[in-house]
Amino acid sequence: MQTLDGVQDNIDKIAALFPNCITERKDAEGKVTLAIDFDKLRQELSSEIVEGREERYQFTWPDKKKAILLANSPINATLRPCREESVDFDNTQNLYIEGDNLDVLKCLKETYLGKVKMIYIDPPYNTGNDFVYEDDFAESTSEYLANSGQYDEQGNRLVTNSESNGRFHTDWLNMIYPRIKVARDLLTEDGVIFISIDDNEQRNLKSVMDEIFGESNFLAQVVWERAYSPINLMKHFSPAHDYILCYGKNVEKAICNGIPRSDAANERYSNPDNDYRGKWKSSDLSVGPAVIANIYPIKTPSGRVVMPPSGYSWRLSKTKFEEFVNDNRIWFGADGSNVPSIKRFLSELRKTGITPMTFWRYEEVGHSQDATQKLANLFDGKKYFDYPKPVELVKRIIALYSNKNSLILDFFSGSATTAHAVMQLNAEDGGSRKFIMVQLPEQINEKSEAYEAGYKNICEIGKERICRAGKMIKEALSAKQEDIQTLDIGFRVLKLDSSNMEGVYYSPAEYDQQNLFAQTENVKSNRTSEDLLFQVMLELGATLDSKIEQIEIKGKTIYNVATNYLVACFDNEIDDSVVTAIAKMQPQYAVFRDSSMADDSTATNFEQIFKTYSPNTVTKVL
């Protein structure tokens, strides 16, 4: 019931490779724990060691080590379902999660390890007016673990990062580094991450990404033309672009789908000579720098003799050129006197899509002003967000590297453009992509138009945007008389909170015999059976969008998750007949509460019942 301890996980991996480098030491509480003998590890890894003040290339900032520690530190937190704020809770496979995104990512890490195909995030740009997450490195690890998953009285953990702050870049790096580090583990091996950024932190973000993903996994830095007209009040230059950094988890396995071919792109192909292979487009026969063997004279059908331009050679050898001529793959122009070119046939294109370039014009993917206006139109003309990303921009990002059944994650959800883009793309190509949106419930300014309209935090606007966008997309499909039954426009809402378990569950050493009996209930009093179910789902690897069937046996509520993957019952007074009925379902996991057993006889017979009816079931007792 606790997220993975990243440090211990790394120690286990090193122990498997270098068992001689594992030693024991006493921690601050006097307990004996395993640790790494770094002197021995150095000996194993290198004959030449770089350490101390010796000059070397490195990227660092104040508190970097603590940022790494923060990424690895486990937390006692859970995600609680909220049916009343969800849409089609029982059937949807989409998730909307409210809470600090670092804590949420840690909760998701084990269950969603290697399952996310694509991540897109639009984090704070650090312009001097943005908010950044306040990760307090001054508190001890134990204090952090105790406080993780909790918010301040205003319900947030955000602070303004002004340019006058002496730790301006440091605070932003301490915020972004651990989140990207944890998020990387969620990606599939062929997964890709896109991150929007501007000039303020582009250089630092590139260095962070190079360190976490590796320079070799850099795919591109896209320049997006986000503005269509200059701001004349600017003193020097009017910014017209943002960047989108793109990295693959493993560049060798990442596959780009390309940009779908447009009618305009296909119109560039024609068939002036009525070639039986169909439409084609001419391609330059010359190439540089020159290859001596491919420099030779070519005689056109009109009798003209041509040579490649100075410093260039022909793309084909003389023998290959003659083969192309015989196969009618060389074009000399309508009158047979042009410089020869190669015919590229539309029917022979290897990819259905066009290889994307690194400059994206607003005519293709939209601009900020247009996105702002379209979002306002969705909310009946009310402007609740400044400069949201265009749906067309995020839709292109998703289409480039996702499949029709991919899982898409955005842990800086904001106005939920990514969710809108996923639903829109599914509607266009018949896909069944799923999304996970994560957003801190940042409080809205009480003087804002959104607050006056009744929205108290960003999450409320984001969820409403998904509802309105989904309805609009379905209406558009209905108008075209297209099938809308399979389009998923719902979402399960989950909210980050402290663990469902009382403190005694995690720290029994702090309790003595006198007060132990006062703690017979190890589950917090305000937690429901469904709260417990979702915490168990995370622990046992059932994804949070799993189908949940609720049935009744002998008056007790039984949860069947993902068709007998997990069966759980948290009611009181469970007798042998209920345990037997669950055992006969032969689930992979069966979970009960310790206090649920009706009597000592049931508790005693529990294991034997499962050995009889379902010996392969793994049983858990909370």
**pTM recorded for the entire structure:** 0.80
Q: Is 585 helix (H, G, I), strand (E, B) or coil?
A: coil
Over the stretch 314-326, which tens digit does the pLDDT of each residue have?
999 999 999 999 9
Over the stretch 16-55, which tens digit does the pLDDT of each residue have?
877 777 777 777 777 777 778 777 777 667 656 556 666 6
Highest mean pLDDT out of 142-146, 440-444, 547-551: 547-551
Over the stretch 465-486, which tens digit does the pLDDT of each residue have?
999 999 999 999 888 877 788 8
Give φ, ψ of 320 to 5 degrees.
Answer: -65, -35
Q: Which domains does the chain have, with CATH numbers?
A: 6-52 (no CATH), 89-261+354-496 (3.40.50.150), 263-348 (no CATH), 499-621 (no CATH)
Evaluate if residue 519 carries a pLDDT over 70.
Answer: no
- What's the mean pLDDT when you consider all of the chain? 86
Report the pLDDT averaged over residues 567-579: 92
Terminal Cα-to-Cα distance of the chain (whole angstroms): 9
Report the pLDDT averaged over residues 370-385: 92
Provide the pLDDT confidence category of residue 170 given band limits of 50, 70 and 90: confident
Q: Are 592 and 569 in contact (CB under 8 A)?
A: yes
Out of 11-15, 139-143, 197-201, which region has the weakest mean confidence (pLDDT)? 139-143
Provide the pLDDT confidence category of residue 165 given band limits of 50, 70 and 90: low
Provide the pLDDT confidence category of residue 193 given band limits of 50, 70 and 90: very high
Residue scoring higher pLDDT (560 or 621): 560
Exposed/middle/buried for residue 514 (C-beta within 10 Å: 0-12, 13-18, 19+): exposed
Report the pLDDT averaged over residues 285-302: 90
What residue type is assigned to position 340 of the chain? P
Task: Name the helix (H) or strand (E) containing 534.
Answer: helix 529-540
What residue type is assigned to position 2 of the chain? Q
Q: Is 208 helix (H, G, I), strand (E, B) or coil?
A: helix
Evaluate if residue 251 carries a pLDDT over 80.
Answer: yes
Out of 53-67, 167-181, 182-196, which region has the weakest mean confidence (pLDDT)? 53-67
Q: What is the pLDDT of residue 488?
A: 95
Q: What is the pLDDT of residue 505?
A: 53
Highest mean pLDDT out of 70-74, 75-79, 389-393: 389-393
Out of 164-168, 170-174, 223-227, 245-249, which region has the weakest mean confidence (pLDDT)? 164-168
CB-CB neighbours of 13 under 10 Å: 10
Cα separation, 152 vs 350, in Å, equals: 56
Residue scoring higher pLDDT (376 or 522): 376
What residue type is assigned to position 190 of the chain? D
CB-CB neighbours of 322 under 10 Å: 12
Q: What is the pLDDT of residue 510?
A: 60
Instruction: Return the residue matching tokens 């340019």.
Output: 163
Q: What is the pLDDT of residue 150?
A: 38
Evaluate if residue 583 carries a pLDDT over 50.
Answer: yes
Give φ, ψ of 82 to 5 degrees.
Answer: -130, 90
Over the stretch 104-146, which tens digit does the pLDDT of each residue have?
999 999 999 999 999 999 998 876 665 555 554 444 334 433 4
Reduce the secondary structure of 68-85 to three states and give it as a string: HHHHHCCCCEEEEECHHH
Cα separation, 401 vs 387, in Å, equals: 25
Report the pLDDT averaged over residues 493-521: 70
Q: What is the pLDDT of residue 156?
A: 46
Q: What is the pLDDT of residue 55?
A: 65
